[in-house]
Structure formats: C-alpha cells, structure tokens
Structure 1
C-alpha cells in the first residue's frame, strides 16, 4: 500500500477510498486537496486568462459565453466536441501508461503522425480488396505497429543504457513529424491532387457514426482504451509490475522483475496507443493526411493527464471540457478577433496554476508532518 501511495499519491479513486476509511477529518483533508491541486488551478487559470483578455480589450464573459454556446449548447457543436475527443482519449491512455510507469514519453506527436500516415496510406488502397471492417482493422493495426516501432530507439537506450528518455523521445518526435511530412510529399502522395496529401479514404468506408449523428465511433474506442488502461494499471499484476519499475527500479530488480523488458513493454504500449490516436483521426474523421499537418495533440494532452492525477475517469472528464474549449474557441476567435492560439495561453495558465497548486499542497503536507 505504501508503494501505491508513492507512485500516484493523488489518484482520485484512492483518495476517496482513504477518506471513507478514515472518517470526516480525512474527508475534509481530501476535499481541501482536491480544491488545491485540481479545482483551484482550473478556476485560477480561467481568471488569469480573463485578465489577459481584458488587457487586450476583449470582454472575457463574452468570449467564454461564445465558447459555451458553440461547443455545448448547440447540437452540432456538441457533436463536434464529442468527435474531437477520440484522438485525445487515445493519447490520454498512452500517457497514463507511460507516466504511471515512471516513463516520460514526450514523443507522442511523432508517433501520432506516423500512425496517421501509415493508416492513411494503406486504407484507401485496401478499399474494394478487403471488407470494410478489415480495412479499418488493418489501418488501426498498422498505426499501432508504426507508433510502437518509432519508440524502439528511446526504449532501448532507456532500458539498457539508462539514457534520459525525455531527450530521446523529444528528438524522435521531431524526426517523426518531419518524416511524416516527407512521406506525404513523396512516397504516399496522391497523384490526383495538386496539393500534397495522401489518398482520401471515402466517407462511407470510414468509422461508422453514432446514432445518426456526425459523432465518430472512434469516441467509443477511445473511451474503452482509457478505461482498459486505467484498469490494467490499477487492478492487474502486470500494471503493478510496471508501476514498481517506475517507483523503484532497484527494488523491482531485487524482486525478480526484468526491468529492461518491462521498460520496453511500457514504451511499446504507450507509443502504440499514440499511433492508434492518429489512426482514429484519419479513419474516423479526416480521411487523409495533408503535408505539414501537425495538430500537436500530444503536448496538449500532457497537462490534462497530470491534472487528472493519472486517473482514467478524471482524464475523460477533462478531455471533454478541453475538446469543448477547442471547438468553442475557434468560433469565439472568429467573432471577437481573438487569435485561435489563445487557447494555448489558457493551457499555459493552467500549467502555471497547476504547478503553484502542487507547491502549496506540498507545503501544507510538510507543515502537517
């Protein structure tokens, strides 16, 4: 139980269980901590962003009102929000595995794009050759394999040489982004178009929609991925082994675990899910990959996973609100003349406030001791 606390001391589910066992005093403590490290930073980030908006002459209430109206209060906006969630959920699953196992996989953008390009290159060629379900299955499988393969070098260097994976995964991410763009322009370019892009998967051959809406069924698979990863990392012996390696590799070795092999497995699973994220975007929504396309979803999702305390259900909730923010900010930007990248300012504010919340929480804990 001590090891569990060291690996993810702020997991929401564990805090709730501890509160139930310890009584009202612990419940108050858990509530205060929730306000300090989660709710508080969110509110503070919105207030800080509101101040910035006022400084540039924009009414923050109007800006946030447009976001709410466009993303949640309209039927089409809600459908677009739900569809945007799919790739972000796969990335959340990818990062939850890595971070809970003590691995900093910061190469998800490269893995995402290479997985997207692999599925976009293969799926249109298989239409008419294989059944529709098989085309999608092959596209997803190729994306997962390509994403996992792209993590081999950082994984081997980490597992057998102890090289810091932050540096290697970032380097491989930059290379992956450039390689994906090069492949689109050369090897996988659609000869029928003047603008470089891959062949387009017909709409009728993409992932089916949900309940006669525009919501891609990739949303369902993304939800399943996050929940399965959460259960694997918290309820299975394999997940416990991965967490042991991240918490204390020396102790894991003395316990008879193969640290290098578990490190390789962590990289493979995390990067494979990042590749699936790219496939869900292409096979479910876009249908092709244009040259120089890079939505940078991987770096966007990192603060959400941390804010959720690596908890699957918490990550789903935050992804929903973040997707609504992305969809709504596009409309607000057009109406009010605010740059669309202002969403990144809000995310940066959230990171700053999250760090301050962590500092305050740690300071309180030291005083209690």
Structure 2
C-alpha cells in the first residue's frame, strides 16, 4: 500500500512539474524580454495581476473572457483525444459568430429573447459543424491529412466571414462594416448582478461534460481507441470513418458555440477583419493540461488573467499589446522541449 501511494504521489508530482514548469520558464523568459525592452518585469506582471485578477472589474472581465476560450478548449480536447488535429477552429468560430450576429437582431424583433438566444447558439454550432464536413469526409474516406485541410478551411472561413459582413449582413446605419448590434438587454444574462456573462457557465459545463464523456463512457473509450490505434479500432469492428466524421462535427460545433457565445454574450456584433484567433492560442493550454478538462479550466483562467491584465499593462508601460501572445508562444516552445525530454527519459528507462 505504501509503495502504491508513493508511486501515485510521484506520478502526481511529475505531472505537476511538466504542467507548471513550462509556465514558470515562459514567465521567466518573458521577464528577460521585458528587461531587454527596458521595461520593469515586476511592474508588468504587477499590472497583469492587478488588472486581470485583483481588480473587481478586471476579474469580471477575466471570467467573461473564459467563456469562449473554454468552449474552444472543449472542442480541442474532443479532437485531440480522438487523434484528430482540428486546427480549423478559428474559421468555424468566425462563421458561427457572424451567423449568430446576423440572426439574433432580426429574430429578436419578432420573438422573445428566451427563444432567440438558444436558437442562435444552435445556429452557430450547426454552421461550424457543416463547415467542418469537407475536412471530415476527406480524412475519413480518403485519408487526407486534416491539418492541411482544416487550416485551408480556416483561411476560407475567415475570408467568407468578412465577405458576409461587408456585402450581406452589413448594418447600413454604420460607416464601419459590421453586423447589426444586438441590444445589451437581449444578450446572454449576467451572473449574480455582475458583468460576467453566463457564457462562462456554458463553457464550464462544456469542458466538464467533454471530460466526463471522454474518460467515463463507452463512447469516449471508442474515440480514444480510434485516436490511439486506428488499425486496432478497425480490427475491433469500430466504424472508424463514421466516428471520425462525428468527432469533427462535435469539435467544430463546440468551436462554433464559442463564437456564438462571444457575440451573444459580449460583443453584440461582428466587425469586418475581426479575428481573435482563439483556437490556435488555446492549443498549448490544452496540451499543458494533458487533455484533462479540470486542468484545462485552470490554464484557461491563467491565460485569461494574462490576456486581460496584459492589455492594461500594455497601455500603461508602452509594451506591445500582443506581448501576452509572445509569452504563449514561448510556452508552446518550452512545452515541446519538455515533451521531448520526457519521451527521451522514458526511452532510456525502457532500455
């Protein structure tokens, strides 16, 4: 029993090291870059924590930002656990956002809000799922690499979203190309008399549900089997092509739901050339959490603090607004090195 407990403790300590170690290294590297730019790292991180975590308004903005990010994370967990690289989340997100932004004001003029909001959320998820159909079929029945097809569909999706905003769904009452604005009163309700959008709850439920389905159900076991060894899955009689299409649909629908939640809960409209590029940003967070839903929630919260606080720090210290993304990029590189060293250590242990 003591040996088993010690082994379990060592496994948890190793997991914590490989999860938190890259974060610490990335923050340290970010500090060195700030010093090279002539900026006090303590002041920068102080503004980040003060605005993104310690300030009541900043904390509420952080929690609101988490809603779509968690839905993107749920989308990636489904795909990655099934061995599928759905890197088309940004295109799926934008097309769903534009669809929800165009439909919500039009429907709100003729139907109650309690009916309009769920309908637009479903619409966004459905549009994104349909947009993923071509890469899904190519991967399932032709074996074409989905990394290439989903990235290509992202470029097409972003361009199509801009065309729809400028030519089809443009609000004629504005000079800047954008969709009509959904009134604040008709958006997703706020939580507990705060400015936090209920999209946060939708994101939390999605991540927890995905985690439980993938780890506790027979359906999740099938998807993990397909991801681990497609040949063995075929030999076991699993319908691999159909499961592949289903995974694409679920993953894309969650990414589309993220776009709809962002528009219906926070933005209210979509402007031309707007692309927050959440999908590729969340990829390293999901890998840091080792595809664990609960760990992903923690890392998404950390990134949201860094994102909201980094915007404030950039204004106060003259740091480029995208510096927080530089830290995320460093984090991705460090994560890759950590994975390489871990696999090398395991191979030496087997030898």
Task: Provide TM-score, normalisation by structure 2.
Answer: 0.98
The residue number in structure 1 matching 2:309 is: 328
Could you tell me which runs of 5 or more consecutive residues in structure 1 were left unpaired when the two chains were aligned.
1-18
Given candidates 67, 79, 83, the residue that maps to 2:64 is 83
Find out whether 1:22 has 2:4 as its counterpart: yes
Once the two structures are superposed, the pairs formed by residues 85-100 of structure 1 within 5 Å of their partners are 85-100=66-81
Once the two structures are superposed, the pairs formed by residues 1-369 of structure 1 within 5 Å of their partners are 22-35=4-17, 37-369=18-350
Cα distance in 2 for partners of 1:251, 1:20 equals 36
Report which stretch shifted further, 280-289 or 347-356: 347-356
Report which stretch shifted further, 155-164 or 344-353: 344-353
Question: Following TM superposition, by how much is the alpha carbon of 1:254 offset from its aligned partner in structure 2, in angstroms?
Answer: 1.4
Aligned length: 350
What do residues 186-214 of structure 1 show as CA deviations (whole Å, max 9, x unaligned)?
11111111111001111000000001100
Cα distance in 2 for partners of 1:225, 1:279 equals 14
Report the secondary structure of 1:186's partner residue: helix
Cα distance in 2 for partners of 1:59, 1:138 equals 48
What do residues 227-280 of structure 1 show as CA deviations (whole Å, max 9, x unaligned)?
001111111111111111111111111111111100000000000000000000
Indicate conservation of the 8 Å contact 1:200/1:287, yes or no. Answer: yes
Report which stretch shifted further, 133-142 or 161-170: 133-142
Cα distance in 2 for partners of 1:32, 1:315 equals 17
Question: Following TM superposition, by how much is the alpha carbon of 1:301 offset from its aligned partner in structure 2, in angstroms?
Answer: 0.5
After TM superposition, the runs of 4+ consecutive aligned structure 1 residues lying more than 4 A away are none
Could you tell me which runs of 5 or more consecutive residues in structure 2 were left unpaired when the two chains were aligned.
none
Question: Following TM superposition, by how much is the alpha carbon of 1:30 offset from its aligned partner in structure 2, in angstroms?
Answer: 3.6
Report the secondary structure of 1:23's partner residue: helix
The residue number in structure 2 matching 1:14 is: none
CA 1:33–1:144 in structure 2 vs 1: closer, same or farther (change >3 Å)? closer
Cα distance in 1 for partners of 2:210, 2:151 equals 23
Question: Following TM superposition, by how much is the alpha carbon of 1:29 offset from its aligned partner in structure 2, in angstroms?
Answer: 4.4
Cα distance in 2 for partners of 1:179, 1:161 equals 26
Cα distance in 1 for partners of 2:2, 2:234 equals 35
